[in-house]
């Protein structure tokens, strides 16, 4: 996680500290790249807190991390999980230009719960971000995830799937929300494994290249393995399209 440990948002499901953010470390991108090289990582996920205080939301910092990792570990694949860059013109373009292998941005929950769970975010802005990534660079795989058990209903989850597919999202993750502390939003319901299997089947039918839907699924759950599976699924989809023509 880059850009410090203090977030400018206060989402009711997240246990990251909210307050005055840390000063940016100008050497952080190089330090991240050194760590990736030293650990010999084949796939790395770079994420961050929200930094509404920065003019670009931290986009340039993300880009520098990608660039430094490429220099030191050219065979490593890079996945970014970015904030929504709300009201940060040009931020998405900055990250996309650095060409991560996967661009992840989570919608987190259904739109009816945004005001309660993500008061600083906007559902359709997140959809537009994901769609913009594909517009700028169709070769980048896009990914998004959501939690269930916060009070949503099945039909809302299915609508989110449709919205994400309309934004050309390739990879969907769905996991059970777990309350981090007594101060956070309560778990309204524990979704059964059978329901997760149902969501996974429906998501595949709707056209996602890759789906991970289990109680323990998280944004970076088996990210390295699933990235390879997604690449295979993409090649298979191209073959099917070619054969049908």
Q: Which residues contact 199 (CB under 8 A, 6 or more apart)?
A: 148, 157, 174, 211, 213
220 annotated among ligand-binding-site residues: yes
| Residue 107 near residue 160 (C-beta atoms within 8 A) | yes
- Residue 73 is assigned to a ligand binding site: no
| 65 marked among binding-site residues | no
C-beta separation of 163 from 114 below 8 A = no
Report how far residue 170's alpha carbon sits from residue 209's, in angstroms, rounded to the nearest whole number: 5
**Residue found under tokens 């700028």:** 136
Q: Is 7 annotated as a binding residue?
A: yes
How far is the C-alpha of 108 from the C-alpha of 106, rounded, in Å? 5
Alpha carbon distance, N-terminus to C-terminus of the chain: 44
Closest by CA to 51, choosing from 7, 92, 117, is: 7
Dihedral angle of Cα 95, 97, 98, 99, to the nearest 10 degrees = 100
Alpha helices by DSSP H, listed for the chain, are 28-39, 59-72, 91-97, 114-117, 123-136, 154-166, 193-206, 223-244
Annotated binding site for [4Fe-4S] cluster: 7, 11, 14, 220
Annotated binding site: 7, 11, 14, 220
């Amino acid at each position: 996680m880059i850009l410090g440990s203090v977030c400018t948002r206060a989402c009711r499901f997240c246990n990251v500290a909210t307050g005055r953010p840390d000063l940016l470390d100008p050497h952080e991108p190089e330090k991240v790249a050194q760590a990736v090289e030293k650990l010999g990582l084949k796939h790395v996920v770079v994420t961050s807190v929200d930094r509404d205080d920065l003019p670009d939301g931290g986009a340039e910092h993300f880009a520098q991390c990608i660039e430094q990792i490429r220099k030191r570990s050219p065979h490593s694949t890079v996945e970014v999980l970015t904030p929504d860059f709300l009201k940060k013109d040009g931020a998405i373009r900055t990250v996309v230009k650095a060409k991560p292998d996967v661009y992840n941005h989570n919608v987190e929950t259904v739109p009816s719960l945004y005001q309660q769970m993500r008061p600083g975010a906007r559902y359709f802005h997140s959809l537009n971000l994901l769609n913009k990534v594909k517009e700028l660079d169709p070769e980048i795989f896009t990914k998004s995830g959501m939690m269930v058990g916060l009070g949503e209903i099945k039909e809302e989850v299915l609508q989110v799937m449709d919205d994400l597919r309309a934004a050309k999202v390739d990879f969907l993750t769905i996991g059970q929300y777990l309350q981090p502390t007594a101060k956070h939003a309560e778990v309204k319901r524990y979704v059964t494994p059978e329901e997760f299997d149902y969501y996974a089947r429906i998501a595949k039918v709707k056209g996602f290249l890759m789906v991970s839907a289990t109680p323990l699924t998280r944004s970076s759950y088996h990210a390295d393995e699933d990235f390879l599976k997604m690449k295979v699924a993409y090649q298979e989809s191209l073959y099917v399209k070619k054969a049908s023509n």
